[in-house]
Structure 1
Amino acid sequence: MRAARSLHSTPLLRSHTTSPRVSIATARIPCLQRHAWPAQRRTFLRNQQSSGRAVENINVNCMRNESYEYYVRRRSFMLCGAIASSIAAFYTAYLLYVAVRNPKKLDSGLPDKLDPFTTDAGSKRKTVVHDADGREIVPTGNSVVPVFPRLLDLAIGAEEGQEKVNGVEYTLVGLGVRTVTFIGIQVYMVGYYIATQDIAAIQARLVKEINPIATTLVSTEKDTLRQALLHPEQGEKLWNSILREVRPRSVFRIVPVRDTDFHHLRDGFVRAITARSQGDNAQFGDEAFGVAMRDFKSLFNRGKVPKTREMLLFRDAAGRLTVTYDDGKTGMGSIGRVEDERVSRLLWLNYLAGKQVASEPARTSIVDGIMEFVERPIGTVAAMVI
């Protein structure tokens, strides 16, 4: 009897041991509910249901809410990812834009070992290439004005005699971009040229400034000169003496990279000249300087200046300022002259020296070009170029 009872009780034990497994599985899903129905007796239409069997009910509303919350979370996550990706893409594009629009240095960054006039292995040289016509050009790093000519052959600034027939050759010293406002809107590319025959005089003046008995500067002396040229006060004093005493013939070549007008250019020039003339009434407070400034302003009473139109500012051996412009119709022509050398000197200092300059990249590039002059023996640069 006991063995029989044990045999009959075995299925009941199995049914009780399996029921907790079902309850654990269903407990993990909140929308599935397990109900234990009361025992029912068998009828002729329905079988008897065991008392330990569980029945699961599906809560459709609960599942719909969970599905909605899942897709809301998924959408929010994807939206955050899209926003982050857009920010990263725009920032990368901005960095590329700055890198492309920023003017590059004239130096190639490689030592010129083949040059016999190089005094040190780390000397840098301009990146000079040739165009389809064989002319030497220098890349600017700007997409609107991509190149500047290395040499300019101009009749303005020539003296009487054979030189006036052949014109004057001007050599590019440095270039850069002029920007305005705090976001750096580019206005024009500017390059500084010096008459090739006057380079020797500048060489001698700069070399004697650092070492009175030298004909060229070594590496440490070049660093001293560079620091002096970049110093706000020393650089302005040095360039002021060069412009007043040496008076090399030179040209600033200005090419707009966006459409502008003469009045906008005039306002920038006048502000720079006025700022540098203030505080020195003994030198710039006379009536003649005021008349010269009125003459200078009258040169720019004109209209629009489309981009890529060339403007040249000449300073001759007497310090007189001559402005020429290419209107695209009649070609390059003079639009006027200012006799007082103080106007051109102050305008030149606006690019060459001081606490604030019109274009810091141009000033740095010009200083790099000056370093090429002083590392060679005096007079050899002009002889090599000519």
Structure 2
Amino acid sequence: MFRLLSPSSRRLVSMQRAPFTTTIRRSLHGRTNAVRLPARPTKALLFGSALVFSAAMVFTLPTIHLDAEAVVQNEDTTVDSATSIAFPNTLRIQSKSPLPEFTLVGVGVRTVSFLSVKVYSVGFYADLSNPNLHIPKSASPEEKIEHIVKNTACVLRIVPTRSTSYSHLRDGFMRALQAQMVLLKKRGLLTQEEEFEVQSPLRKLKSMFPNTAMAKHTPLEVILLAPEPKQTRTLILRDLGALHSDWVSPQFVLAYFEGGGLSPPLKKSVFANLEHFGE
């Protein structure tokens, strides 16, 4: 027996079978360069479904709605060529305390071991409309990154390429921060007193990760809030918690751009896009 399809169902079947493409646009510097790439119609579903967590995991202010996903603007995305994971060029995260609109600055893949296993893709976002940003075009890429991280809100959007665990990501983050401490001590930029003071927020960060699995393509957004007078800097791990530290919060982000970078392709992408950015 055959069932007749309704007009709407026939349209849906037709859409599923018909080949089509999507346009990837870049507009960081006011330029629009269109590239025709194969569309991935299931990405929005993956991003949407992966961000629904238990309401019991609410963290400290500012509160990020657990029932609200980051808004992807239509098909305005950039694809990490190493993993085919797409990142929205404009990211809006809904919160009771308003967050700015974030602009994608660059994307790259994080690989580990001598086999170059692809662990996750990461996108670096920043509030480039912040009036406190006064970056000269003549500044080096390293100086521009440091100025952005220290003066405005930023986001690291981390998307695993395969099923992993929060504890695995946690261990990688902790190693990166420990390396930052050693490096800054050698440069004379971290005193023993400051090193002692950061131990508490480091323990806080470590405790925020649950001992549970993390599904493939589940985004983890790490939000560094803009600095405010007479307040310590806030770092939010979406749906996991928040910590307050003038050292740990910015260094979590800066670790991605130190030396070769935790993701050399991300560093290369960000530096290239910031080459002509500034006043």
TM bracket (short chain): 0.5 to 0.7
CA contact (8 A) 2:223 2:235 kept: yes
User: What secondary structure, in the 3-state scheme, does the structure 1 residue paired with 2:87 have?
Assistant: strand
Unaligned 5+ segments in structure 1 are 1-105, 119-123, 211-224, 230-234, 325-333, 379-386
The within-5 A match list for 1:126-145 is 127=35, 134-143=74-83, 145=84
Q: 2:216 is matched with which residue?
A: 307
The within-5 A match list for 1:13-24 is none
Tell me the alpha carbon deviations over residues 90-125 of structure 1, each in whole angstroms, 9 at most, x when there is no partner. Answer: xxxxxxxxxxxxxxxx998xxx9xxx967xxxxx95
Q: Which one-letter code corresponds to 1:308 in the other structure?
A: H
User: What secondary structure, in the 3-state scheme, does the structure 1 residue paired with 2:157 have?
Assistant: strand
Q: 2:165 is matched with which residue?
A: 261
**Equivalent residues, number:** 213
The alpha-carbon distance between structure 1 residues 117 and 269, as it changes in their structure 2 partners (threshold 3 A), is closer
Q: 1:357 is matched with which residue?
A: 261
Unaligned 5+ segments in structure 2 are 1-23, 42-72, 228-232
The alpha-carbon distance between structure 1 residues 262 and 206, as it changes in their structure 2 partners (threshold 3 A), is farther
Bigger proportion of residues as helix:
1
CA contact (8 A) 2:85 2:121 kept: no
Cα distance in structure 1, aligned partners of 2:25 and 2:276: 10
Cα distance in structure 1, aligned partners of 2:246 and 2:191: 16
CA shift for structure 1 position 303? 1.2
Tell me the alpha carbon deviations over residues 325-361 of structure 1, each in whole angstroms, 9 at most, x when there is no partner. Answer: xxxxxxxxx2110100311211111112x22310000
CA shift for structure 1 position 364? 0.5
Query: Alignment RMSD, CA only?
Result: 3.1
CA shift for structure 1 position 147? 1.3
The partner residue of 1:271 within 138, 154, 175 is 175
Tell me the alpha carbon deviations over residues 244-286 of structure 1, each in whole angstroms, 9 at most, x when there is no partner. Answer: 3xx2111000000011111111111111111111224427634
The partner residue of 1:152 within 67, 91, 110 is 91
User: What secondary structure, in the 3-state scheme, does the structure 2 residue paired with 1:341 have?
Assistant: coil
Residue identity over aligned pairs, in percent, reads: 25
Q: Which one-letter code corresponds to 2:218 in the other structure?
A: R
The alpha-carbon distance between structure 1 residues 238 and 138, as it changes in their structure 2 partners (threshold 3 A), is closer
- TM-score of the superposed pair, with normalisation by structure 1: 0.49
CA shift for structure 1 position 206? 3.6
Q: 2:44 is matched with which residue?
A: none
CA contact (8 A) 1:128 1:137 kept: no
The alpha-carbon distance between structure 1 residues 140 and 277, as it changes in their structure 2 partners (threshold 3 A), is same
The alpha-carbon distance between structure 1 residues 267 and 134, as it changes in their structure 2 partners (threshold 3 A), is closer
Cα distance in structure 1, aligned partners of 2:248 and 2:193: 10
Name which structure has the greater RCO, CA cutoff 8 Å, separation 6+.
2
CA shift for structure 1 position 242? 4.3
Cα distance in structure 2, aligned partners of 1:182 and 1:147: 26
- TM-score of the superposed pair, with normalisation by structure 2: 0.66
